[in-house]
Structures are given as structure tokens and as C-alpha cells.
Amino acid sequence: MTGKVYGLGLGPGDPELVTVKVVRLLNTVPVVAYPESQKGGSFAREIAKSYIPSTAIEVPLDTPMAIDAAVAQAKYDEHAEIIAAHLDAGRDVALLCEGDPFLFGSFMYIYDRLADRYEVEVVPGVSSITACAAAAGLPLCGREDILTVLPGTLPEEVLERELTQTSSAVIMKVGRHLPKIRRVIDKLGCTGGATYVERALNPGQRVVPLARLTEEVAPYFSVILVFRDTD
């Protein structure tokens, strides 16, 4: 009897934005694994901590931040084997994921390595996309709107092409790409419809019109919402 893996989407950070299903599973699944930075912090564990019983076997997975692809792949291999050892011993494993497991998270790398060999259930979570919209009080899309989700890491010409054609865009992973992103938005004349959101629905939340943002660098987990008047 091998164990089962649960990929648990924890939402954007507020422990109250965790689903009832996640609370139930954390109360019953014996092993709780989560990514941990090299400094020892885990945002995922921070979100879930009040729901993890003291009897849980906790498995921090050390995750390097700046990574070359080969190093990262070897690390995910290692994480998958750590989890597999628990599954082979018959223990279910809950793997904690910030936001939603299948939306720009590292969970998919573990999923790729385990889904063929073990039962995996993905429990979707509130994504940072809708969390940012809620924080800013800005509806994302309705009727025949197109919503485009873009990593801010994309080349300038790709961002420009995508923003030209969509009615609503969410630009993720802004970080050090802020000047490039701002240049594209300015060029397209849609700065007036752009809002910068930092730490959505978390302590220290900031919602600022892009036109009034003075910084040149943003935290990695910041987002820019862009609305174009396409009527």
C-alpha cells in the first residue's frame, strides 16, 4: 500500500484564504513537505502553520533561489525521491504550495517526477492573479474580455505584442524587470490603466497606480495589472 501525494494550493498568503479541504487534509495526512529557502524560511509553511498538527512529520525541501537549470533539476530529483521514500513506506504526503500548485509554482517539477508512479491529487488554491485583483478592487475580465497572464521575465518585444492584443493583463514576477515592463506599458500608452500590486492581501500590501510608482526595482512577488480600453 503506497501512499498518495496531495499538492495543496495555499493561496496568496493569508491563512484565512486556505480552503476547508486543505485544513482537513493537513489535519490527517501524516507527512507535510514544503520548499524552504537556503536561509531557512518557508513562506508556504508560514501560511499553513496553524493547520499543521504537532504530530506531523515535517519535511523541509531545501530550494536554492538563483539556480542554473541543471542544478535545479538535480534538486527536484532529490526532492521527489525524499517524498517517494515516504510514499513507498505507505505514508501519504501533503506538499505545500503557495498560490495554486499548477500556476507558476515549483510543484509541477515534483508532479512531473511522481505522477506516473504514484497517485497524486492536486487541490487548487486561490491564485495570486485573483488576489491582486481583489486587493486592487479591479475586476479582471467579463463578457468577451481576454485575460493574459505574462511573466515579467519575457523579452520586451513579446510583452509588447501580448499587451497590444489583450483587454486585461496580469504581469507576474515583476522584480528587477520593472523598468522594462514600465517602458513597454508607457510605449503602448496604457500607463493610466496600469496598477502595481505588492504583497496582495498580505501584511504590508501596497496598491499604487504605475504612474505614481517611483522605484526601479520591485520584490519578485509583485504584479502589475494592465487594463486596456478595447471598446
SS3 assignment, position 78:
helix
Residue closer to its own copies, measured from CB, 39 or 180: 180
- Tell me: does residue 202 bind its own copies (CB under 8 A): no
Q: Could you give the 3-state DSSP secondary structure of residue 147?
A: strand
Cα angle, residue 175 at apex, residues 79 and 98 outer, rounded to 5°: 40
Strands 31-36, 93-97: pairing is: parallel
Region near its own copies per CB under 8 A, out of 5-13, 27-35, 39-47, 76-84: 5-13
Binding range to its own copies, per CB under 8 A, among 27-35, 38-46, 86-94, 128-136: 128-136
Distance CA 119, CA 188 (A): 47
- Using CA atoms, how far apart are residues 173 and 190, in angstroms rounded to an integer? 19
Among 82, 147, 188, 208, binds its own copies (CB under 8 A): 147
177 vs 182, beta carbon nearer its own copies: 177
| Set of cell numbers at residue 97 | 504550495
When asked if residue 183 is in the footprint of its own copies (CB under 8 A), the reply is no
**Whole-number Å distance between alpha carbons of 140 and 98:** 21
Which one of 40-48, 118-126, 174-182, 204-212 is the stretch in contact with its own copies (CB under 8 A)?
118-126
Shorter beta-carbon distance to its own copies: residue 12 or 193 = 12
Query: Rounded distance, CA 211 to CA 156, Å?
Result: 19
Among residues 115, 188, 207, 211, the one that binds its own copies under rule CB under 8 A: 115
Give contact residues for its own copies (rule: CB under 8 A): 9, 11-12, 14-21, 23-24, 100-105, 107-108, 111-112, 115, 120, 122-127, 129-131, 133-134, 137-151, 153-154, 158, 161-162, 165-166, 201
